[in-house]
Structures are given as structure tokens and as C-alpha cells.
Amino acid sequence: MTGSQIRQKFLDYFAERGHRVVRSSSLVPGNDPTLLFTNAGMNQFKDVFLGLEKRDYTRAASSQKCVRAGGKHNDLDNVGYTRRHHTFFEMLGNFSFGDYFQRDAIAFAWELMTQGYGLPKERLYFTVFREDDEAERLWQEVAGVPKDRIFRLDEEDNFWQMGDTGPCGPNSEIHYDLGPDAGPGSMPRNAGERFVEIWNLVFMQFDRDVSGKLTPLPKPSVDTGMGLERMAAVLQGKLSNYETDLIRPIIDRAGELFKKPYGEDDRADTAMRINADHARSTAFLINDGVLPSNEGRGYVLRKIMRRALRNARMVGVSDPYLYQLTGFVAEHMRDAYPEMMESIQRVARVVKDEEHRYATTFQVAEKFFQDEAKGGAITGAASFKLYDTYGLALEEQQDMARELGISIDAGGFAVEMEKQRTRARASWKGAEKAQVNPVYQALPKTEFVGRETLEALAKVTAVLHDEIALDRTPFYAEAGGQVGDKGVLVSESGQTLAVVESAYSAAPGKTVHKVKLLIPVKEGDIVIARVDPESRNATMRNHTGTHLLHAALRTVLGTHVKQAGSVVEPSRLRFDFTHYTAMDQDELAEVERLMNEQILANREVHTDVMDLDQALQTGAMALFGEKYGDRVRVVRIDTFSKELCGGTHVGRTGDIGICKIVYEGSISAGVRRIEAITGEGALKRFQEALQQQAKFAGVDLEKLAARERALEHELQQLKTKIAQSQAADLESQAREIKGVKVLSTQVDGFDRAQLRTLVDSLRNKWKTAVVVLASTEDSNVSIVSGVTKDLTSKVHAGKIVGVIAQAVGGKGGGRPDMAEAGGKDPAALPKALDQVYSDVEGML
């Protein structure tokens, strides 16, 4: 039984028994900020188990993609060296939310294992919690398991809990005896390699309070988890998960890329197993929006990738290869996860960039390491520099240190790491602790009234050269990318005292106004602070537009998009975001469409004030680099956008009028920038465009168009002649295979029409031939295949181009005698074209 069949049989079995089959959730948990990655099937149902969410079903089943490579559950160091450790794996699970309980769960498990999968009953063993009399009785009564194959274990082995408090309960683990060939082992304490746990049934029946007291739940629930890779090994008669059809093909592909057959060298075999597993994690994590970085999930991904690259390097692999292996993973797992094919090119670009970065920085880092090692040890400061500046993980450094027989001051490294984290925390939370000028620190607090009014009576609390402080102000102080308000200060009699050019927060809660004084003002004076309404309204349109843009980008490009900076001012908005490649016109158009769809719908812009932790739990996005207090403002636009934001916004999205993107480009590796305009700014741009068109109104456009068509025709004729003349040059490159002329090569500079002409010319000239020509332009690949009529019963042009297209990340096909295709990966083209010769030989 294949891995795919095992997965499908599980889901079908439970669907037939009233379970809703739920698709796998993302590897990035959306409902649990305490988790680094999704690591169990129950993660996506956590709120259901806790009673915080109610769904329209009480039974569910899923095949959940999981990663365990950080935090409490971290299998990374063991991967590749053992039979069953992985960073990426799939967990099959069935769940009951207050529906059935132990009896049905045990009956389902027994029937599926023994009848559905056909496992021998005598090779199954069971563990239960030491106090769970009911589970032991049911295994005997429902399943007929002999008592001598049921073992009672303590709380640390057979009692599961979601956290220190909350739902918990006993569990039953099901083990399978692989036989003596697997190695020594005995149940229950020394399972060794012989007895493998394949399924865990958790019976959530208690609620644990802070004192540790257990109270029975009114509606007990069931959460089970079966390791797909482990069950595949059992059913396919393999001792190692890596030998199953889920993983072994990836190992074999790694062997091809390494140019080292699997099974001939232990060290190379380990590197291939590591790469097979890590390629799975890498492909799936990037697909779910995680990008390599030096923080959080991105750091763990980078560590996984670099562990793969380092092990490949240690067995002599130096050229980029991992991007090809992740592509193979997507192909291999497309039946269960078809969405992987949609991101295959994006994943390849990210991985290839990281491979180049690793190769470049590793050389520099290695020199720095060697210089530092001359002292006999690597200091904590040097070690942290290797990590922070060169991206060399501590584990990599320790491997290098072992090779040289020197030590690394891990304690010193930890101190430096904590300093950096402290700096990061200070940049995000607790702005009140930042160091400020004592002059500003001494100022009294400023009451901000600018959300309710644009004009307020205020008292001058300080005059500092060209700056004025007030006890209350309607002027928004520059923050969060939004510029400070402009306006005037006037006397009670209406005389203008000063022009306010901007406002900023000189210290937490203390606003200072940058002014151009027209008449002297002194401390204690009463003034009217008046914000320029046109400027403020334009800024609010752009700020709310920024939120719509952020949400639209995440919808179109993926949830990996995160804000990396912004400027919101009256004339425009500028938004920087994480994304690895330029946006094409279709993507920009769709982002623009989504934004204006929300504007036309005239959605209300809601603002709620709540505790920071509460806000984060609601799913509101917080931005690194922003400074949040204990209480925050959450700006929500229907279900489309929800962000923490202290800025000023329009009351309804319709107030924006329209939003038009005017620029998209790169500002650094992995960071893009969009500029856009709204409201009157967009109207002005439209009017200017009309004026430009009017300037050309007097030109005879019909003559210009005719001239352009004539030139295009001449160009096509010239290209056709060049193509025909090149036929002679290509004849010498053809190979004769079993009496048939075969040519498969790249000829750049031709579009698809010229390729067809050239293929036709060669095919007609050679009478019995197979011709495959391809060209590249930018990142696009064009392929044309032609087969003479006498060969089409054996050689199919459509199948030939289909194989090449798949190799270059595209698709195509056609008739047996003529076919076309396209692709997006020019780097893979030469190898794919060369493969044609052996493929055709096989067909003939």
C-alpha cells in the first residue's frame, strides 16, 4: 500500500463514519502564538477543544502537515541518523468534540488497523494510563486484546495535557512489533527499534485548574494522532521511514544531484537522508509564507536549510542543488498537496537565493572563524558576530570547532544573544523606557484630542526656540510612518501666532510642535491650536489606504508578506513589504482591484482599544519596530484587515475615493516598495494623463500604426530568413540514433513562431527526424518539438515537450508530429534538452 493510499484510506474510513474531512492547516499556526510551527493535528482545533469556537460538525478527520524543529519539540539534531526522526511529517487524526468517547475511538482504531490496513493482531501492543481502568477494559472488551499485551504507565507517558491548566486526560498508545530483525526491544519500557508507536488516542475528560485539581468535563472529547510515515514503514515492510515511498524517491533524487548513488557510503547516505527530510520542511515552510531570516520561524527555516547545505558540502557538493530538490518534493507530493505546484517557482527562487547567500557568506565566515581560532578558542562575542553578521548558526560553528579541536564560549554567545533580544524588545514594546532628552522629559503630559476635533483651546507649557509644547493638542505627532499634522496657532482674537510645520513625540506622551513663529509666544499663553483639515484628511485617506494595501498584498501574494516600513503623508503613501520577487502586472492589478473593491463597498473603519495581549490573540497584526504600550488601538475594516495602529483614519473606506498604485520596485534583497495615491491626488494624476493624451491628439495615429505594422512585418521576415539560414548550421549538431536524425538544442533570439519555422525546415529537410528546439528570453522558456510522420507511432512530439516543460517549471503539449510548451526556469533547460536523446532512443 502506497503512502498516498494509506492517507486516503484513513480519511475515507472516517468520512464514512460521519467525520468532516478537514484540510491541513498552515504550518504557521494562526490561532496559537505560543507555537513556533504546527506540530500536531489538533492544533487547528485547539479553540474548539477549549470551548472558544463552535463549528458546524462534532467529528473531524485530517492529514496534517507538521514541523518539529524548535522549542520543546525539536527533532532536528537526530534527523538523518535515526530511522524515525523527522523535521517534517504528516499526522493522520480523528477528532470528537463532545461527540463519541473512549468506546467508539477504540473501536474505530481497532477496525481500521486490523481490517482496513490488515495489520496482524498479534503484533499490536497497547499502553494506557496507570489509573485508566476504562481504557484497559475497553481494549479487551471491544477489541479482544489479551490483557498481557496492555501495559499501564505513569503520567509522564500516558497522560496528555494542553498546558499547565485546561483540558487534559489519559491516552492510549498503540505500538507495532517490527520483529527481531529490527533490533532489540521489549514492551513497555525498552521498546528500542523493535516496537514502534503508530497511533496515540487521547481522551480529554478533565479540566485541570491552577491548583492541579481535575474536574470532569461536561462533554469529553477525543484527539488522536497517527504518524503517516511510521504507518507506511509498517505496511510496506520497511524498518526505516526513509525507505518508504514517501521519502525514498527524494533520497534517490538527492543522490542524482550529489552524483553519489545511495547505499554506497555511510556519510553520503546520512547527508542524503538529511537533505530529503530538510527539503520537505523547506518546501512546505516557504509555501506557507516562512522566509529565511535571523529571527523566529525564519531562523529555524534557515537553520534547517543550512544544515542540509552543510552536510552536502561535507560530502563534496558545492553547486546549488537544494532548489531542485524542493521542486522535486512539490512534484512528489502534488496529489495530496496540489497547492505546492502553485508556489514551486517562488520556492525555488527563495531557496536558490539562500544557497548563493550561504556559499558567499560561508567563505567570509570561514576566514573570520579561522582567524579567531588562532587564539585556541572562539569567544562569545566572536561567535555572536559569526551568527549575527555572517548568518552562521552556533551549531555550525560548533561542528567547525570540533574539526579543529577548539572550544566555543557558548555562555558568552548566550549573553550577546540576550542583549540583541533586549534591543529588539525595546524597539517593539515599552517605548516609555527609551532614553530621552531631560529637557523634554521635564515637560508635562500632552492630551491628544485630535481624534475628536481639529481645533482646541490650549495652554503653552514650554517654548523651546522653534518648538512649542501645549497641555492639549489636536495635532497628531509623527509616529508609525504617519507624518505630523500641519496647521496654525492663533490667539483668542484670531491673530495667527505661528505656523505649525509638524508635530512629534519628544518623549512618551509629550508632543512638541515644530513652528515658524510670527509673533512671540510665552509659557502660560492661551492659544487656539488649529489643524489644517485638507492636509489631515488627505493623510487619513492614505493611512487607511495603507491598511487596505497590506491586506490586499497578503491576499494576492501570500501571508509571508509583512510590512517592512511605511510613510503616510498628504500627497502619497509609501509601503515597504517582504517579498522575494517583482510583482507582475496581473498581481498589481489584482491588488488594486481588491483595495478599490473595499473602497466602493464603503466599509466602516472600526477602532477598538484593548490590552496588547488581547489584541494579539484576536489576530491583529503587530509590526516589528513599532512601539506599543499596554493598551493599544486595533483598526479593523470588516473581515478584510485588522492591525494594531495608533494613527488617524477615515470613518468609512468610501472616504478614500480611489487608490491608484503608481510605483513598485525593489529596495533591498527580499524587500519591495509600493507607492500609491488616493483621493484628490489620484484625481490630479488622472487629469494630467488626459492632458498628455490631448497633446498627441493632432498626430496621425493611423499612419503611425500602419508604419509600425510594416516594420513588424519586415522584422518577422528577417527573423524567418535567419531561422532558415541557421538550419544548415544546426545540421552538424544532430545525432543519428537507430537511423533517425535527432536534434535537441537551445537557439536563443527566436520567438515561438521562428522556432516553429526552424523546426519545420529541419524536419522537412531530413525526412526522418526528431527536432526539439528551445529559446529563452528573460526568465521565459519557449520549446517546440517536431517529429516526421513516419515516426509518430513510436515518438510523440507532445510527450517530449511535456517532459521538458515539467523540468523547466511549465506545461505544454500538442499533436504527435508538432507540439509546443513554455516554462519559467531557464537554468534547468540544458539538462532537460540533453535528456531528449536518451528518451528518444528508448522510444525507438
DSSP for 596-655 reads: HHHHHTT-BEEEEEEEHHHHHHTT-B--TT--B-SEEEEEEETTTEEEE--S---SBGGG
- Find out whether 656 and 544 touch, Cβ atoms under 8 Å: yes
Neighbour tally for 680: CB within 10 Å: 16
pLDDT score, position 629 = 64
Q: How far apart are CA 245 and CA 317, in angstroms?
A: 25
pLDDT score, position 427 = 41
- Find out whether 499 and 468 touch, Cβ atoms under 8 Å: no
pLDDT score, position 333 = 94
Amino acid letter, residue 467: E
pLDDT score, position 582 = 85
Q: How far apart are CA 208 and CA 210, in angstroms?
A: 7
Least Cα distance to 749 among 718, 728, 772, 770 occurs for: 718
The dihedral sign for the CA sequence 337, 338, 343, 344? positive
pLDDT score, position 15 = 96
User: Omega into 33 within 30° of 0, i.e. cis?
Assistant: no
Separate counts of helices (H) and strands (E) for the chain: 24, 34
Q: What separation in angstroms does the CA of 470 have from each of 253, 454, 458, 499?
A: 70, 15, 6, 14
pLDDT score, position 719 = 62
Which region, left, alpha or beta, applies to residue 645 given φ > 0 means left and ψ of -120 to 50 means alpha? beta
The position carrying cell 488581547 is: 614
pLDDT score, position 173 = 94
**735 grid coordinates:** 545525432
pLDDT tens profile 462-520: 999 899 999 999 999 998 889 999 999 999 999 999 999 999 998 878 999 999 999 99
pLDDT score, position 430 = 37
pLDDT tens profile 562-600: 888 899 999 999 999 888 778 888 889 999 999 999 999
Crossing angle of the two packed helices 380-388 and 344-373, in degrees rounded to 10 = 160
- Find out whether 658 and 555 touch, Cβ atoms under 8 Å: no
- Find out whether 101 and 222 touch, Cβ atoms under 8 Å: yes
Query: Where is 196: in which H helix or E strand?
Result: strand 195-208
Q: How far apart are CA 565 and CA 147, in angstroms?
A: 64
The dihedral sign for the CA sequence 784, 786, 792, 795? negative
Q: Are strands 526-531 and 159-161 parallel, antiparallel or unpaired?
A: unpaired
Low-confidence ranges of the chain (pLDDT < 70): 31-34, 70-75, 155, 162-163, 294, 389, 391, 421-436, 623-630, 669, 694-702, 704-705, 715-729, 778
Least Cα distance to 449 among 372, 503, 523, 378 occurs for: 503
DSSP-assigned letter for residue 336? T
CA contacts within 13 A on the Cβ side of 586 = 1
pLDDT score, position 630 = 66
DSSP for 430-499 reads: -GGGS---HHHHTSPP-EE-TTT-SEEEEEEEEEETTEEEESEESSPPBBTTBPPP-EEEE-TTS-EEEE
- Find out whether 516 and 466 touch, Cβ atoms under 8 Å: yes
- Find out whether 291 and 350 touch, Cβ atoms under 8 Å: yes
**507 grid coordinates:** 518623549
pLDDT tens profile 145-189: 999 999 998 867 788 886 677 788 999 999 999 999 998 888 988
Q: Are strands 59-67 and 88-96 parallel, antiparallel or unpaired?
A: antiparallel
Q: Are strands 740-746 and 769-777 parallel, antiparallel or unpaired?
A: parallel
> What is this structure's pTM?
0.55
Angle at 718 between CA 713 and CA 723, to 5 degrees: 125
Q: Are strands 150-153 and 124-129 parallel, antiparallel or unpaired?
A: parallel
pLDDT score, position 624 = 47
3-state class percentages of the chain: helix first, strand second, coil last, to nearest 5: 45, 25, 30
Crossing angle of the two packed helices 296-314 and 344-373, in degrees rounded to 10 = 70
Q: What separation in angstroms does the CA of 578 have from each of 87, 242, 674?
A: 25, 35, 11
Q: What separation in angstroms does the CA of 176 have from each of 17, 116, 161, 198, 239?
A: 25, 16, 25, 7, 12
Q: How far apart are CA 312 and CA 325, in angstroms?
A: 12
Amino acid letter, residue 799: K
